[in-house]
Amino acid sequence: MFANLKYVSLGILVFQTTSLVLTMRYSRTLKEEGPRYLSSTAVVVAELLKIMACILLVYKDSKCSLRALNRVLHDEILNKPMETLKLAIPSGIYTLQNNLLYVALSNLDAATYQVTYQLKILTTALFSVSMLSKKLGVYQWLSLVILMTGVAFVQWPSDSQLDSKELSAGSQFVGLMAVLTACFSSGFAGVYFEKILKETKQSVWIRNIQLGFFGSIFGLMGVYIYDGELVSKNGFFQGYNRLTWIVVVLQALGGLVIAAVIKYADNILKGFATSLSIILSTLISYFWLQDFVPTSLKE
Ligand code: C5P
């Protein structure tokens, strides 16, 4: 049963990562009438959806009794403020990371972003070794090196890219910096969350509600700081369309799947599962979105 959950959760993760990256990229580049949706508000909406889904899961675990649900939430969240507070750290980092992700996908094509972001496998391994005292074998380190080489090859500018360098260098640089910062935050936050999940008793869904609670607060601060004026002018949900809702639902689903993967497998396996989605998003990006060329060439 445990082994099954491990592989099922890893499989869903491959599907979720691929569809999120492609829809997010598509939604950020789509030219439409009126204002584009604000990514800062999308981050908050995804957190709220995640909390609602986790409350439903705790409700199901409490044998669908509202009273039992209420007691669990009370006992495990409100009455344990110090335990709850522990989640403020990964939550703050994830909020920053979720915003960086939009910056990256507004400036890089989906495949380049995906491949570069796989550097997080290396940062995750380093944090796992230092914070969880995990031991990695020769083959595991070797696969990390092979992955890094792959990343370097994809980043190598092609002739057509060299021609367009002046046009796209600025935004490519911004995009790359955003991804690289996200690699470190991803490694640290993931391993910290794994440490909390595996070293304390509370259920993964309770931990996710705590994470989402802080995530929503930090996310709202982000909305106020970056888009406060726009929100007061055009509203919180400006520019939302069906595609935006698909993006936020996929992002919320990602939170659930990732939590399950971290519990039943670990962060290093999670990294390898998501790197499988590189192949998928590269193929789809090329054949379907015709996007695996520098965006500046088209714009
Ligand atoms: O790229 P990485 O795997 O680090 O992304 C993790 C993503 O999963 C982040 O968007 C984070 O907000 C989300 N997450 C979550 N709930 C968890 C763990 C991660 O929503 N328990």
Residue 205, ligand 1, Cβ within 6 A: no
116 or 161: which leads in pLDDT? 116
C-alpha to C-alpha distance for 19 and 11, rounded to whole angstroms: 13
**If we measure between CA atoms, which residue out of 179, 214, 183, 211 comes closest to residue 100?**
179
Residue 207 CA to its chain's centroid (Å): 17
What's the confidence (pLDDT) of residue 156? 57
Structure token digits, residue 196: 């909390």
User: Which residues are within 8 A (CB) of 1 and not within 5 positions of it... i.e. 6 or more apart?
Assistant: none
Place of tokens 């204002």: 35
119 or 76: which leads in pLDDT? 76
pLDDT in tens, 175-201: 999 999 999 999 999 999 999 998 988
Res 244 pLDDT > 90 = yes
**If we measure between CA atoms, which residue out of 212, 219, 179, 178 comes closest to residue 193?**
212
| Continuous segment of H or E residues that includes residue 219 | helix 204-234
Residue nearest to atom 10 of ligand 1 (CA): 98
What's the confidence (pLDDT) of residue 234? 93
Residue 98, ligand 1, Cβ within 6 A: yes
C-alpha to C-alpha distance for 219 and 227, rounded to whole angstroms: 11
Least confident of 193-197, 221-225, 258-262, 269-273: 269-273
- From the alpha carbon of 274, which atom of ligand 1 is closest? 3
Residue 255, ligand 1, Cβ within 6 A: yes
Helices vs strands, H then E, count in the chain: 14, 0
Other beta carbons less than 10 A from residue 203's beta carbon: 16
Distance 233 CA to ligand 1 centre (A): 31
Q: How would you label 157-193 residue by residue, b for 16+ Cβ within 10 Å and e otherwise?
A: eeeebeebeeebeebbeebbebbbebbbbbbbbbbbb
Res 27 pLDDT > 60 = yes
Distance 170 CA to ligand 1 centre (A): 28
Distance 177 CA to ligand 1 centre (A): 19
Q: Which among 94, 195, 198, 268 is the best mutation to test ligand 1's pocket, defined by most ligand atoms within 8 Å of the CB?
A: 94
Residue 208, ligand 1, Cβ within 6 A: yes
pLDDT in tens, 265-293: 889 888 877 777 767 777 777 777 666 55
Res 154 pLDDT > 80 = no
Residue nearest to atom 15 of ligand 1 (CA): 255
> Does pTM surpass 0.85?
no
What's the confidence (pLDDT) of residue 46? 95
C-alpha to C-alpha distance for 249 and 157, rounded to whole angstroms: 35
Q: Are 268 and 11 in contact (CB under 8 A)?
A: no
How large a percentage of the chain has pLDDT more than 90? 53
Residue 190, ligand 1, Cβ within 6 A: yes
Q: Which among 49, 185, 192, 258 is the best mutation to test ligand 1's pocket, defined by most ligand atoms within 8 Å of the CB?
A: 258
Res 13 pLDDT > 50 = yes
Domain assignments of the chain as residue spans, ordered by start: 34-241
Res 22 pLDDT > 90 = no
Residue 206 banded pLDDT, cuts 50, 70, 90? very high
Residue 193, ligand 1, Cβ within 6 A: yes
Residue 73 banded pLDDT, cuts 50, 70, 90? very high
Between helices 204-234 and 165-199, what is the axis angle to 10°? 140
Residue 17, ligand 1, Cβ within 6 A: no
Res 91 pLDDT > 50 = yes
Residue 84 CA to its chain's centroid (Å): 21
What's the confidence (pLDDT) of residue 294? 43
Mean pLDDT of the chain: 85
Alpha-carbon torsion angle 94, 100, 101, 107, nearest 10: 180
Distance 258 CA to ligand 1 centre (A): 6
Q: What is the mean pLDDT of residues 222-247?
A: 94
C-alpha to C-alpha distance for 66 and 72, rounded to whole angstroms: 10
Residue 298 banded pLDDT, cuts 50, 70, 90? very low
What's the confidence (pLDDT) of residue 2? 66
